[in-house]
Structure 1
Amino acid sequence: MADLVIGADLGGTSTRVALADADGALLATASAGGGNPTSHGADRAAAELGIAVKRALDGFDPRRVRAAVLGVAGAGALDDPGAARLFDEAVGGSGLAVRPDFLSDAEVAYCSATPRPSGTLLLAGTGAKAARVRDRRVQATADGFGWLLGDHGSGFWLGREAVRAVLAAIDGTGPETSLTGTVPGRLLDRPLDRPAYRRRYAVIRAVAARPPVALAGLAVLVAEAEAAGDEVATSICDRAAAHLVRTIGEVREPGERGPLVLNGGVVRSPHSPVGRRVRRLIAERFAGEVLTPADGIAGAVWLAVRAARPQWSEERLAAIHARLTGA
């Protein structure tokens, strides 16, 4: 009977698991709730992982699985032995005879874009960080400190800067901007009160009443305002791109020519306001091909194939990567 592998992508919104044969042909996929142990807690995240793995294995013999690679957003939480045990048990409860390999989402995202072993990754979604990748493992990181300490240029950062611009416009200490209408409209359930001091405190209270990372939901308003020619939104996007490229520079070694992978909602599309600027600044500063990854689960499956078939040539593994990613 043919050997099997498992690849998984555990994010804040969902846990996705794919079952494939050792040649990388997908046989089944399944999903469950969010699997980020940092944002959801290890108990809940592990439980969702267990559900997704069992769904993917439905109708298959788990003893045929030769390798399992799981990319985890918030993987640092698994440094805690108790959390790591919960995740091991969640997968082991499905009957697997192999111990899963838990990797960071950065490593899986990088390998979803390229089979080359070394390069650089920029992740810019709700948060933001850059990573130097060597032999398909993260060697060094920059930023990724979270909304309170960093994540400069991220979706959260864009949303926060939008609110700050609105407050400055209301106070008369900053330029007028169309964000003064759209941001409060998203935050409040009624029109802004007047005079100005009542309007500013309404916005401040609305922001304080929400989880801080919810500010990332305002990033789309910045993009819309930039597209309409708003100068304040344009400035915010300019500064976001500068922050992100500076973060790349903290981990990308001088003269490096390996691939530079861009992932995350802020930069993934070359047509988005920040993604467009980041690519322009990268071309001015760095060498190497700029790539965007396929679905993160493709990288996890490919790494599982590598683990299950260490004797295979790089050429054969590269062909499997191309098939999995549609390259």
Structure 2
Amino acid sequence: MPTTPTTSVPLVIGVDSGGTGTRCAVVGLDGRVRARGQGPGGNLRSSPDPAGALRQALEDALGGIDRRRIAAGHLAFAGAAGEDGGTYRDMATRVWRQARLPGAPAVGDDLAAAVAGATDRPDALLLLSGTGAVAALYRGGARTARRDGYGWLLGDEGSGVWLGRQAVVLALAALDGRGPATALLDVLPRALGVDTGGADGTGTALARRMVTAVHAAPPAELARLAPLVDAVARNGDRIADRVVTEGARLLLRTLDSLADTAGPDFAALPVVLAGGLLTGTTLLADRVTAVLRDRGTATVPARDGATGAAALAALALRSGATPAEARRLHRTVAGLEPA
């Protein structure tokens, strides 16, 4: 899906692939985005065809591009820094070659791409809340510490899945009398595809249907409930508001757990806010940013992980650049505002 005419400038490819989508950007070292492409989610643990998702995004972007002019690529995947790293590298290299691209791509995680797409500061913090949740510390452009990101069963506190799960838990408590009434019951059953007709007066039948629906779907599907929790909280429901407030507290706790590792300049480091729940217009984002603003902490919204990945590819291509040259190149390819 080319967007501008090609030139003789070397081109780099950046890919940002997560659980819900795969985005590709072909960028010149002059900063012009030559083409973009998209594909479905490419997470090894949740996508039915991660290789196909990557292939689709690459081919969508490369339709009108002379592939011989691709000088480097950086492909970022959620989870690529963990135990699945080798599998991601093998898959990405295979698809790259099948796309008739020269050389071999670098493969990394999506957190680094998010940071690179938001700031050229080598020292920064990341706080992400989307389907999952994680915080990380970057020094000299490299990640030196990470907190949470353990998945829905063991962590991801303050994530979309966490918000959705808590909302269902509290709605069930309201149904069987263990908790107070909540307007969440007006929206969650329908969102779960549950028929509310014929429920008994005690709510037992509806509760069972909700439980069955939740267990029948992948856990990540609970993240779809997060916008509903936000909407109900905005309408004044104190139970939904409690979920959002607790989610914000847990996210800030995860971020603050990096303080000892970061050292005395922790409060001075910029925080890159990433994930749809922290970059979108949400109550969760409002509450997290309000606390950080009161602390005097600078926040930077994540912008474009694909061009961030492209910037990482460009920096690897020009590894001999001086620090000042590298910073200019980073800002140019990532499309960041001039310093």
TM-score (norm 1): 0.90
| Alignment partner of 1:193 is 2:199 | yes
Are 2:274 and 1:263 equivalent residues in the alignment? yes
Following superposition, the deviation at residue 11 of structure 1 comes to 2.0
Displacement of 1:227: 0.7
Partner of residue 182, structure 1: 187
The 10-residue stretch of structure 1 (1-10 or 313-322) with the greater mean CA deviation from structure 2? 313-322
- For the pair 1:10 / 2:20, whether they are aligned, the reply is no
Q: Give the aligned length.
A: 322
1:93 alignment counterpart: 98
Whether contact under 8 Å (2:118, 2:300) holds in the other structure is yes
* Corresponding residue of 1:282: 292
C-alpha distance in 1, partners of 2:83/2:63?
A: 27
Which of structure 1's runs of 4+ aligned residues deviate more than 6 A?
none
The CA distance in 2 between the partners of 1:95 and 1:76, in whole Å, is: 26
Choose from 67, 70, 79 the match for 1:65. Answer: 70
* Paired letter, 2:284: V
Cα gap change, 1:177 to 1:84, in 2 (>3 Å): same
Query: Structure 1 residues 189 and 76, CA, compared in 2 at 3 Å: closer, same or farther?
Result: farther
**Separation in 1 of the partners of 2:110 and 2:198?**
41
Instruction: State percent identity of aligned pairs.
Output: 37
- Are 2:316 and 1:316 aligned? no
Segments of structure 1 that go 5 or more residues without pairing to the other structure are none
In structure 1, distance between residues paired with 2:63 and 2:305 = 22
User: Matches of 1:79 and 1:208 in 2, distance apart?
Assistant: 26
Contact 2:132–2:152 (8 Å) recurs in 1: yes
Q: Describe the shift of the 1:153–1:21 C-alpha distance in structure 2 as closer, same or farther (beyond 3 A).
A: same
Q: What is aligned with 2:242?
A: 235
Structure 2 residue 305 is matched with structure 1 residue 293: no
User: Per-residue deviation at 1:37?
Assistant: 2.0
Change over 3 Å in CA distance of 1:81–1:315 after alignment to 2: closer
Partner residue, 2:167: 162
Match of 2:215 in 1: 208
Change (3 A) 1:26 1:177: same
Q: Identify the residue that residue 219 of structure 1 maps to in structure 2.
A: 226
- In 1, the alpha carbon distance for the partners of 2:225 and 2:21 equals 21
Residue 273 of structure 1 corresponds to 283
Query: What value does the CA root-mean-square deviation take over the aligned residues?
Result: 2.2
Query: Which ranges of structure 2 fall in alignment gaps of 5 or more residues?
Result: 1-7
**Structure 2 counterpart of 1:48, from 44, 53, 57:** 53
What secondary structure, in the 3-state scheme, does the structure 2 residue paired with 1:71 have?
Answer: strand
Q: CA deviation at 1:79?
A: 4.0
Tell me: CA distance 1:78–1:68, structure 2 relative to 1, closer, same or farther (3 Å).
Answer: farther
Q: TM-score, normalised by structure 2?
A: 0.87
Shift of the 58–242 alpha-carbon distance from structure 1 to 2, 3 Å rule, reads same
